[in-house]
Amino acid sequence: MSETAETTAIVKEPKEPLFSSNNKRLLSDPLNDDNPITIQVLGICSALAITVQVKQAVVMSLSVLVVMIGANLIVSLLRNLIPSRVRIIVQLVIVAALVILVDQVLKAYMYDVSKQLSVFVGLIITNCIIMGRLEAFALANKPWPSFLDAVGNAAGYGWILIAVAVVRELFGSGKLYGFQVIPDAFYDFGYFNNGLMILPPMALITVGIIIWVQRSRNTKLIEEN
Amino acid sequence: MSNAIHKFLENTIKPNFDEGGKLVKYLPAYDALETFLFVPGHTTNGKGSHIRDGIDMKRTMIMVVLAMVPALLFGMWNTGYQHFLATGEAYTFMDAFFYGALKVLPLVVVSYGAGLGVEFVFAIINKHQVAEGFLVSGMLIPLCLPVEIPLWMVAAATIFAVIIGKEVFGGTGMNILNVALTARAFLFFAYPTWMSGDKVWIGGGMDETVAYADGSTGATILAQATEKSSGFVDAAGVAYGDSFMSAFLGFIPGSIGETSTLAIMIGAAILLITGIASWKIMFSGILGAYVMGLLFNLWGANPFMEVPAHMHLVIGGFAFGMVFMATDPVSAAQTATGKYIYGFLIGFLGIMIRVFNPAYPEGIMLAILFMNVMAPLIDHYVVEANIKRRQKRTMAIAA
């Protein structure tokens, strides 16, 4: 079925501009209206686990970005060759290969961060966002929109991760990206780092607060009941 | 006099807040303050089957606050007493009381200020009346904290608890967790150095310039029990058997309001006589703790397990939590059978956590929060069981 759609598209429609409004939406929707974490509630596990420090969150977001772009592109290119009965396993193999690549690069060039992220880089394979985008988008779209979709979703995932990490690192250890931000004078005055921020429940609560703010600003997200 | 004030409020001030008045936006704030002083006007006027009398939520809450006053007053005195005991200075009864009052009152003021501030803001944003729930939470929060806790931490914890514990769920009456315990749990995990140890419980304890008499230890009985596996002794090195009375009366270090089981029992009596708190929860909670204590006695693998079961009822926050927090009508189980199960499990789990996990000597807090979450589940199964039972009965009659 996708093949017929493909052929008609090639024959009749004029070439779509690279950044048509549709394509722009692929980039911008996941940032807010269709955010993978706050709206679809996917990828929560890693959002809770690696948001203690901004550095980890940034590296994790970049890793997911790389894996997602690669996987979306490859799956999109192969979409007409993959038999639909074995598509999940094919997707898994592609994602796993990319994740191992990323993992090796991290180990080679950012050894200590890679140690801190430990198992969570490997767990990108099971990140629902990636599988979700492959299934829902890359399998049915051309490479360029798939690429944009990957960038958009990885960015949507990344900004939530980094926002949560900023809150947690700032209040939990008084630092941002490893540098002390809260001046020593505060500590002399009786300020203390909030130990709860280091614990995973606070990540959940922070994500919850982001969802709360997002929904009260963006009223079309509110479900009717 | 009070009539004149009421008239002045009704005729001069109130119109500003009514429909069309210039301050109509702030009606919730006004209403909260007015009904604080006067019984609200909307009572039943002789007709109708649903009687709406003057005992509204605000008066219920005030009753609970009154029930906490013995614990508060004793806590003030005990704060001073522990301070002078630790420094070894001479003191009179009033010295101790005023020293403690100066330490405790700022905590109360900050707790109420922060909490009511949040409540007022949300009431005005959401255009509903300021709910009275915080009157009780605002008093509970300082009473369940160590006296040396910095004021800004109290404010932060109170704001966190009111917003995350209550407002996100829809405000008073909708909260899943007890608000005061949410605040305490926040502090417990966020600032552990200020919530445990042997200094925070004593007035002036964190101030390093205060000299201590030799041999005094400010650790709570629970902290000592978990630390010293060799024996269970109180501050003076007396074995626990002798300290039952002092723990019951409350001459021990601890959170402000929880040391004196006697003062808490006076509060419990007020709550039970007025019918505000559920005796089912209190009774089954004490039973649960006692049963768990006896089970540990039978087991007896370490000295803490050999602590007599009745001792568990008077040390730590057990009595305070059971009387004032477990019975919170919003977060507790609602069904009659459910209340027995809910209370029993709080006592049972509370003592279990206390003995098994040395990191969390105050197991009651965690037990109550845990059972708060479980309460709707308990109610669900109680209601289901009731439906099944009645169905069976009708089937039997029909057949």
For residue range A114-167, list pLDDT tens digits in order.
Answer: 888 878 888 888 888 898 899 989 999 999 999 999 999 999 999 999 999 999
Cβ atoms within 10 Å of B69's Cβ, excluding its own: 14
On whether both B82 and B7 belong to a single domain, the answer is: no
Q: Write the single-letter amino acid at B215.
A: G
Which chain B positions have a beta carbon within 8 Å of A199's beta carbon? 189
Number of domains present in the structure of chain B: 2
Longest dimension (CA), chain B: 82
Pairs of residues, one from chain A and one from chain B, whose beta carbons lie less than 8 Å apart: 21
On whether both B238 and B349 belong to a single domain, the answer is: yes
A195, B189: Cβ pair inside 8 Å? yes
On whether both B69 and B25 belong to a single domain, the answer is: no
On whether both B172 and B236 belong to a single domain, the answer is: yes
Give the SS3 label for residue A30: helix
On whether both B23 and B65 belong to a single domain, the answer is: no
On whether both B174 and B126 belong to a single domain, the answer is: yes
The confidence score (pLDDT) of residue B34 equals 67
Q: What is the 3-state secondary structure (H, E, C) of B31-49?
A: HHHHHHHCCCCCCCCCCCC
Of chain A, the percentage scoring pLDDT greater than 70 comes to: 92
The confidence score (pLDDT) of residue A128 equals 84
Does residue B395 lie within any of the structural domains? Answer: no
Cβ atoms within 10 Å of A162's Cβ, excluding its own: 17
Across B212-219, average pLDDT: 52
Does residue B216 lie within any of the structural domains? Answer: no
Alpha carbons within 13 angstroms on the beta-carbon side of residue B219 total: 19
- Positive or negative torsion for Cα B40, B45, B48, B50: positive
On whether both B29 and B164 belong to a single domain, the answer is: no
Which of the four pLDDT bands, split at 50, 70 and 90, describes residue B375? very high
The confidence score (pLDDT) of residue A115 equals 85
The confidence score (pLDDT) of residue B112 equals 93
Q: Could you tell me how many residues make up chain B?
A: 399
- Both tokens of B298, joined, read 């039978």
On whether both B149 and B263 belong to a single domain, the answer is: yes
Interface test with A, best of B187, B189, B194, B195 (most A CBs within 10 A): B189
On whether both B87 and B233 belong to a single domain, the answer is: yes
Does residue B143 lie within any of the structural domains? Answer: yes
Task: Write phi, then psi, for B130 (nearest 5 degrees).
Answer: -70, 120
Does residue B42 lie within any of the structural domains? Answer: no
A196, B164: Cβ pair inside 8 Å? no
Across B78-99, average pLDDT: 83
Residue B240: pLDDT above 50?
Answer: no
On whether both B302 and B367 belong to a single domain, the answer is: yes
Across B340-369, average pLDDT: 88
Cα B221 from Cα B227, distance rounded (Å): 10
On whether both B20 and B95 belong to a single domain, the answer is: no
On whether both B273 and B349 belong to a single domain, the answer is: yes
The confidence score (pLDDT) of residue B279 equals 92
Does residue B399 lie within any of the structural domains? Answer: no
Does residue B233 lie within any of the structural domains? Answer: yes
Which chain A positions have a beta carbon within 8 Å of B153's beta carbon? 192
Does residue B133 lie within any of the structural domains? Answer: yes
The confidence score (pLDDT) of residue B134 equals 85
Which domain range does residue B29 map to? 2-37
Read off the pLDDT of residues A84-113 as tens digits, 9 standing for 90 and up. 899 999 999 999 999 999 999 999 998 888
Q: CA gyration radius for chain B?
A: 23
Cα B357 from Cα B363, distance rounded (Å): 8
Cα B117 from Cα B130, distance rounded (Å): 10
Which chain A positions have a beta carbon within 8 Å of B189's beta carbon? 195-196, 199
Residue B235: pLDDT above 60?
Answer: no
Does residue B389 lie within any of the structural domains? Answer: no
The distance of B191 to chain A (nearest Cα, Å) reads 6
Give the SS3 label for residue A111: helix
Report whether A124 contacts A59 (CB < 8 A).
Answer: no
